[in-house]
Amino acid sequence: MSGILLADDEPAFQRLTGAWLRGLGHDVRVVGDGDAARAAFAEAPADLVLLDLAMPPHHDPEAGLALIASFAPAPVIVMTGHADHALALKAIDAGAWDFLAKPVDPDILRIVVARAMERAGLARELAALKARDTGAEDMGLIGTTPVMAALRDLIRRVAPTRLPVLVLGPSGTGKELVARALHYASPRADRKLVPVHCGAIPPELLESELFGHLKGSFTGATSDRPGLVETAAGGTLFLDEIGEMPAVMQVKLLRFLADGSFQPVGARAPRAADVRIVAATHRDLAACVADGSFREDLYYRLKGVVLRTPSLDERPGDVPLLASVFLRRASNGMGQFTPDALGWLTTRRWPGNVRELRAAVECAAALAPQSATGVDVGATDLAFAVGDPVADLPTIGTPQTLEEEIAALEYRRITETLARTGHNHTHTARHLGLSRVGLLKKLDRMGLR
Ligand SMILES: Nc1ncnc2c1ncn2[C@@H]1O[C@H](COP(=O)(O)OP(=O)(O)OP(=O)(O)O)[C@@H](O)[C@H]1O
């Protein structure tokens, strides 16, 4: 239980309010300025923050307002010497839970704090329920083969610890799902899971994205901004595609892993945050260490525990179950596979793993003919969806004339590309050299929407 963080620079107010709240049974930490408040919260999140808006170093209510977001998800009660209606509105707008004008009436403080603590408790329960929803039974991971059971067992054992976890496995095998399962099965489940796609953020922005920056530290830094590390305080930071992390950032990450400290861009003093690190990559990190593109010391820090996600080749027995669940979801429970479809699914190889299987089933469910009992997905629909050769084209028949042949080719190229892009219309249009509107018109004409 993390209690209340009281941030106020007046010693008398600190003493009296701290004592009053402790007398009510709350655990209270007291800090005297904005930076200390942020650092204290990053180190150990509180259930509730009582924040004076005009504290050192700026003594400016606007700077206080900018702090509010750094305490998410804890409710923040803002206090100020100015009984200022506009400021109160701004504070609520910035995410504050409530606003108290000084001098603070102790009885009102008691009620407001009780309500905010109740809200924090409800938020925790909700997070725990969500965790049960996504994490229970199969922890969000579909599969009953021994290799999946072993993976789940490891996740359950590792989740309660603070050990860093490295998730390795081919693309599309559920590494991100494993990171989620780890977070939601851990005591951090009511805090944030913050994913970072290391390869997707330009190297020059990665440092400020991860560690935040101070106002004026570079052109365009118009205000202080906390980084993803601070956002994840008390929770889990998921570093996806860690193999893509630039060398200069590898050093900074190593330092953070070593002692939990980091330095926002432009800051003079280091800060600390309690964050659990889960990293993932489809690359062979040991080989990256051998060829010098990944730091050996960071590699050993990250691999506190290594979890491996198996390819579908290693667990073909799970293909029918995965396909059935994806079909049920895609058809609102109104779809079924024909017997030839199940045979086809299990004999085909899935180099793109679960991601490819899922896209194929979703595409086939959208293309398959509707019957009175729902959607019947056959082998032809699936083959069509993945662009495998099919004997005939069910909806347009075997082409006879040139025009029919062109229509068949058009149909096939479009459905194949839809399957490959996971039904993303914009990407499909781009691949085919069409405008998005042009593609949508064709889909309408073909009855594919
Ligand atoms: N065991 C599983 N159960 C249910 N869905 C899964 C499973 N494994 C993967 N998926 C689904 O497959 C897709 C890809 O999963 P995810 O993004 O976690 O894979 P990844 O290994 O992180 O891929 P990449 O290396 O390309 O980032 C997602 O839609 C995910 O829901």
pLDDT reading at 134 higher than 80: no
Distances in whole angstroms, Cα of residue 206 to Cα of each of 69, 106, 248, 336: 20, 45, 10, 45
Q: Do 177 and 250 fall into the same domain?
A: yes
Query: Ligand 1 within 6 A of 354 CB?
Result: yes
> At 259, is the secondary structure helix, strand, or coil?
helix
More confident residue, 117 or 131: 117
Which residue's alpha carbon is at the smallest distance from atom 9 of ligand 1? 174
DSSP-assigned states of every residue in 157-184: HHTTS---EEEE--TTS-HHHHHHHHHH
Read off the pLDDT of residues 279-320 as tens digits, 9 standing for 90 and up. Answer: 999 999 999 999 999 999 999 999 989 999 999 999 988 898
Query: Ligand 1 within 6 A of 321 CB?
Result: no
Q: Do 303 and 332 fall into the same domain?
A: no
Instruction: Name the pLDDT band for 101 (thresholds 50, 70, 90).
Output: confident
Instruction: Name the pLDDT band for 421 (thresholds 50, 70, 90).
Output: confident
| pLDDT of res. 328 | 87
What is the 354 CA–ligand 1 centroid distance (Å)?
Answer: 6
Q: Do 172 and 291 fall into the same domain?
A: yes
| pLDDT of res. 223 | 86
Which residue's alpha carbon is at the smallest distance from atom 13 of ligand 1? 355
What is the 417 CA–ligand 1 centroid distance (Å)?
Answer: 20
This model's pTM is above 0.90: no
What is the 70 CA–ligand 1 centroid distance (Å)?
Answer: 31
DSSP-assigned states of every residue in 42-60: HHS--SEEEEESS-TTT--
pLDDT reading at 12 higher than 60: yes
- For the chain, give the percent of residues with pLDDT over 90: 45
Last residue of some domain: 247, 277, 310?
310
CB count within 10 Å of CB 310 equals 19
Q: Do 430 and 369 fall into the same domain?
A: yes
Query: Ligand 1 within 6 A of 171 CB?
Result: yes
| pLDDT of res. 336 | 85
Predicted-complex ipTM score = 0.98
Best of 138, 177, 197, 327 for a ligand 1 pocket test (most atoms within 8 Å of beta carbon) = 177
**Domains contained in the chain, number:** 3
Read off the pLDDT of residues 239-287 as tens digits, 9 standing for 90 and up. Answer: 999 999 998 899 999 999 998 899 999 989 899 999 999 999 999 999 9
pLDDT, mean of residues 66-80? 87
pLDDT reading at 135 higher than 50: no
Last residue of some domain: 295, 310, 325?
310
Q: Do 211 and 342 fall into the same domain?
A: no
- Whether residue 236 is contained in a domain is answered as yes
Q: Do 62 and 99 fall into the same domain?
A: yes
Q: Do 98 and 160 fall into the same domain?
A: no
pLDDT reading at 29 higher than 90: yes
Query: Ligand 1 within 6 A of 355 CB?
Result: yes
Query: Ligand 1 within 6 A of 169 CB?
Result: yes
The CATH number assigned to the domain holding 251 equals: 3.40.50.300
Mean pLDDT of the chain: 86
| pLDDT of res. 69 | 85
pLDDT, mean of residues 90-95? 85
Read off the pLDDT of residues 369-382 as tens digits, 9 standing for 90 and up. Answer: 877 778 889 888 99
Query: Ligand 1 within 6 A of 358 CB?
Result: yes
